[in-house]
Chains A and B, each alone.
Chain A
Amino acid sequence: MALKIVAACVNCWACEPLCPSQAISAAVPHFIIDAKKCTECDGDYADAQCASICPIECAIVDGFDMPLNPPGSLTNIPPERLAALG
Chain B
Amino acid sequence: MATTPIEIGKKSGCAASSCGSTSDQMSHLPEHIRERVFNHPCYSEQAHHHFARMHVAVAPACNIQCNYCNRKYDCANESRPGVVSELLHPDQAIKKVIAVAAAIPQMTVVGIAGPGDPLANPERTFATFRGIAEYAPDIKLCVSTNGLSLPQHAEELSRHNIDHVTITINTLDEEIGAEIYPWVFWNHRRIRGRAAARILIEQQQRGLEMLTERGVLVKVNSVMIPGVNDSHLKEVSRVVKSKGAFLHNVMPLIAEVEHGTYYGVMEQPSPTAQELQALQDACAGDMNMMRHCRQCRADAVGLLGEDRGAEFTLDKIEAMEFDYEEIRARRAAVQSAIAEEMNKPKVQVATVSLASLKRRAVATPPVLMAVASKGGNVVNQHFGHATEFLVYEASEAGVRFVGTRRTDQYCVGSDHCDEGEDKLALAITALDGCRAVLCARIGITPWEALEAAGIKPDSDHAMEPIEEAVAALYAAMAEAGELSDAPSVGASVA
Contact = CB atoms under 8 A, between A and B. Distances in A.
Interface in A37-59: 45-47, 49, 52-53, 55-56
Main secondary structure of the interface of A (DSSP, over half): loop
B72 interface: yes
A27 interface: no
Contacts of B447: none
B188 A12 contact: no
Size bracket, chain B contacts: 20 to 34
A12 B190 contact: no
A75 B185 CA distance: 14
B190 A75 contact: no
B62 A55 contact: yes
B62 A75 contact: no
A57 to B, nearest CB: 10
A49 B185 CA distance: 10
Interface in A1-60: 10-14, 17-18, 45-47, 49, 52-53, 55-56
Contact of A82 (B63, B121, B265): B265
Size bracket, chain A contacts: 20 to 34
A9 to B, nearest CB: 10
A13 B61 contact: yes
A77 to B, nearest CB: 5
B116 A47 contact: no
Contacts of B72: 10, 56
A75 to B, nearest CB: 5
Contacts, number: 60
B60 interface: yes
A66 interface: no
A55 B71 contact: yes
Interface in B228-269: 257, 261-262, 265-266
Contacts of B67: 75-76
Interface in B49-88: 60-63, 65, 67, 71-72
A74 B182 contact: yes
A77 B65 CA distance: 13
B189 interface: yes
Interface in B171-194: 182-183, 185, 188-190
Main secondary structure of the interface of B (DSSP, over half): loop
B431 interface: no
B263 to A, nearest CB: 10
Given A52-B188, A52-B190, A12 B262 contact: no
B56 to A, nearest CB: 15
B112 interface: no
A12 B62 contact: yes
A75 B257 contact: no
B257 A85 contact: yes
Contact of B183 (A10, A74, A77): A74
B265 A85 contact: yes
Contacts of A13: 60-61, 116, 121
A12 B60 contact: yes
Nearest to A52: B190
Contacts of A45: 188
Nearest to A56: B71
A76 B182 contact: yes
Nearest to B184: A53
B63 A74 contact: no
B120 interface: yes
Contacts of B266: 77, 81
Given A52-B188, A56-B71, A76-B67, A14 B265 contact: no
Q: Which of A10, A11, A47 has the most CB of B within 10 A?
A: A10
Nearest to A16: B61
B402 to A, nearest CB: 35
Contacts of B61: 12-14, 17, 53
A85 to B, nearest CB: 7
A55 B188 CA distance: 14
Contacts of A14: 60-63, 116, 120, 185
Interface of A: 10-14, 17-18, 45-47, 49, 52-53, 55-56, 74-77, 81-82, 85
Given A47-B188, A53-B185, A76-B182, 10 more contacts: A10-B71, A10-B72, A12-B61, A14-B185, A75-B65, A75-B67, A76-B262, A77-B262, A77-B265, A85-B257
17 contacts: A10-B71, A12-B61, A12-B71, A12-B116, A13-B121, A14-B63, A14-B185, A17-B61, A18-B188, A47-B190, A52-B188, A52-B189, A56-B72, A75-B65, A76-B67, A76-B182, A85-B257
